[in-house]
């Protein structure tokens, strides 16, 4: 069987030759981090991190903490879904945090109620025509903001050939300017009940999970996904294969912008207010989630599943530090170290792969 030893025309499908998906490593990291907090909890706090030791809940888990872990990463997680796609094309998006700020302001000003406790809305931006509108209006306005901002990002990168870092840095500064200019720095508050419902309770989590499943499917099973990986993997090859790279990049950055805008709608609904400083540093958290989840900054590799695991790692660390009653400064220090560590790991993995072949 000399022929099958080499494999004839790929007729053989050898499971042992299949590489372990990198998401497994992220999952292992997640479990390890949880175990560290469990151990520290048992040692220092005399209670469990994730399990219900005091009989407060019906299940064996500490449901309150599980909910908080996922709730606090859901909104940035929505942004990270878009950032993941951008990074897979080999790009970067620094503007998502500012798009959140601008979109939150603009969308919220179409979601206000006319009267608060019988008196006119003190934070009103527009006249009565923009009050008590159906909830679809602020949502569509918000999404339009995302399309415009993301579309500009994509068009700049695709047609002027400037590096994504610069294009989205420009958008980061400009969109923040829009957020401040929109209401001259005043917060915008008192949304309609329907709008507030978008961010109430666990709704942000459901929105995040729905979008994660949707984009997992899109990246894995559609032409769009295939071309996204192809461009990040070898842009010249993608071009020579006849992929319209410019048009595709515009689409990817537009989708990232729309996801940031969606996050803004959810965030402003959850907070019942919009402020020009909303979303500062969100872009870096979103990038960090993707990178921790195994999305390679050099493009071509990564997945939505990885990013979701990265987001969970993020949530576990934040909750863990709160659980141990450590100050927020420590959180940031450790967060920074983890981001750098994830990139170092990625480089190391790449070098090992390169030396193998």
Partner 1 sequence: MSEIVLKTEGLTKHYGGVHALQDANFELKMGEHVAIMGDNGAGKSTFVRQITGVERRTRGKILFYGKEVNFDGPLDAREAGIEAVFQNLALADDLDVPDNLFLGREIIKFNLGPFSILDYKAMRKATQEALVRTAVKIPNIRNPIRNMSGGQRQCVAIARTATFHSKLTIMDEPTAALGVQETAQVENIVRTLKEAGEPLILISHNMRQVMDLCDRIVVFRRGRIVANLKKEETDGQDVVAYITGAKTQPEYEGAA
Task: Give the footprint of partner 1 on this chain (CB under 8 A).
Answer: 3, 6-14, 17-19, 218, 221-224, 226-227, 229-230, 232-234, 236-243, 248, 251, 300-301, 353, 356-357
CB of 18 to partner 1, least distance (A): 7
- CB closer to partner 1, 84 vs 98: 84
Query: What are the CA-CA distances from residue 243 to residues 6, 85, 231, 247 (Å)?
Result: 33, 17, 9, 9
CB of 74 to partner 1, least distance (A): 24
CB of 215 to partner 1, least distance (A): 11
CB of 10 to partner 1, least distance (A): 3
The HSE-up count of residue 341 (CA atoms within 13 Å, CB side) is: 10
- CB closer to partner 1, 87 vs 175: 87
- CB closer to partner 1, 111 vs 238: 238
How far out from the chain centre does Cα 244 lie?
Answer: 26
CB of 142 to partner 1, least distance (A): 22
- CB closer to partner 1, 77 vs 302: 302
Dihedral sign (CA 159, 161, 164, 168):
negative
Separation of alpha carbons 221 and 8, rounded Å: 27
- In sequence order, the 6+-apart residues with CB closer than 8 A to the CB of 227 are 238, 243, 248
- CB closer to partner 1, 249 vs 267: 249
Burial of 177: CB neighbours in 10 Å, binned 0-12, 13-18, 19+: middle
Angle formed by the axes of helices 223-233 and 245-271, to 10°? 110
């Amino acid at each position: 069987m000399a022929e099958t030893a080499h494999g004839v025309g790929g007729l053989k499908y050898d499971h042992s030759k299949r590489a372990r998906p990198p998401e497994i490593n992220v999952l292992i990291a997640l479990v390890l981090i949880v175990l560290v907090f469990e151990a520290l909890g048992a040692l220092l706090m005399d209670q469990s991190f994730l399990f219900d030791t005091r009989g407060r809940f019906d299940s064996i888990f500490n449901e309150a903490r599980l909910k908080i872990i996922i709730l606090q990463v859901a909104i940035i997680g929505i942004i990270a879904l878009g950032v993941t796609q951008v990074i897979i094309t080999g790009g970067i998006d620094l503007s998502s945090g500012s798009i959140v700020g601008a979109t939150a302001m603009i969308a919220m000003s179409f979601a206000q109620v006319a009267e608060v406790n019988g008196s006119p809305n003190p934070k009103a931006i527009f006249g009565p025509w923009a009050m008590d509108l159906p909830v679809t209006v602020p949502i569509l306005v918000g999404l339009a903001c995302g399309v415009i901002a993301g579309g500009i990002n994509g068009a700049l990168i695709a047609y002027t050939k400037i590096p994504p870092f610069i294009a989205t840095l420009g958008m980061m500064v400009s969109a923040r300017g829009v957020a401040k200019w929109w209401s001259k720095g005043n917060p915008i508050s008192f949304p309609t009940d329907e709008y507030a419902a978008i961010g109430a309770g666990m709704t942000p989590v459901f929105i995040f999970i729905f979008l994660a499943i949707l984009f997992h499917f899109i990246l894995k099973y559609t032409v769009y996904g295939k071309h996204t990986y192809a461009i990040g993997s070898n842009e010249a090859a993608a071009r020579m294969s006849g992929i319209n790279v410019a048009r595709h990049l515009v689409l990817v950055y537009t989708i990232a912008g729309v996801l940031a805008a969606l996050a803004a709608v959810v965030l402003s609904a959850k907070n019942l207010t919009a402020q020009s400083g909303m979303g500062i540093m969100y872009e870096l958290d979103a990038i960090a989630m993707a990178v921790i989840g195994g999305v390679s900054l050099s493009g071509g590799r990564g997945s939505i599943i990885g990013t979701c695991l990265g987001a969970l790692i993020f949530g576990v660390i934040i909750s863990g530090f709160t659980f141990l009653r450590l100050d927020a400064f420590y959180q940031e220090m450790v967060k920074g170290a983890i981001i750098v560590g994830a990139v170092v790991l990625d480089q190391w993995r790449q070098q090992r792969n390169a030396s193998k072949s």
